[in-house]
Amino acid sequence: MPTTRKRILASSLLAVLLSACGREEPQPPTLVPLMPAGRPFSMESLMRGARLYQEQCAQCHGPDAQGHPDWQNPQVTAAPPLNGTGNEWKRTKAELLNAILNGVTRDGVPVMPAWKGRLTQQEAEDVIAWFQALWPVDVYEKWHKANADAPTAPRS
């Protein structure tokens, strides 16, 4: 997905979230983000994922899921991009859920905190849906084809 589409998607999701603030009753969204074709994401899941991502993940992975500039440097512990430009698209959904819920260690040292107990599995899936919506079409198609039969439950 070109950068412009990513910005439009992120801006649209943010506008939808902000338009709902302060209302007592849920209102239908006034802006609809550009939904990549062939992706089974609901608007509700994307909205929850966008909110949760900004609250929990953006500090390390960047507001647009671009990751830290030094993420490929083995001498530095830095959050990778989640927008389809890094390696996360090479992981199964179960591996992505496992990383979010159980954290990540490198050489026995925690490099990403475990979110189990702070996020439910559904919330973690919503975050994954949000950043997968940012992936370029060809990246998502490769991921989907490689993972069509993969289990989705995280390891405990």
Top pLDDT among 24 and 55 is at 55
Q: Is residue 43 part of a domain?
A: yes
Answer yes or no: is pLDDT of 110 > 70: yes
Distance CA(41)–CA(130), nearest Å, equals 8
Q: Is residue 156 part of a domain?
A: no
Distance CA(49)–CA(72), nearest Å, equals 25
Distance CA(139)–CA(58), nearest Å, equals 21
CATH number, domain at 87? Answer: 1.10.760.10
* Total tally of structural domains belonging to the chain: 1
Answer yes or no: is pLDDT of 19 > 50: no
Q: What is the number of alpha carbons within 13 Å of residue 64 lying toward its C-beta?
A: 15
Answer yes or no: is pLDDT of 138 > 70: yes
Residue type at 124? A
Report pLDDT digits (tens) over 61-107: 999 999 999 999 988 889 999 999 999 999 999 999 999 999 999 88
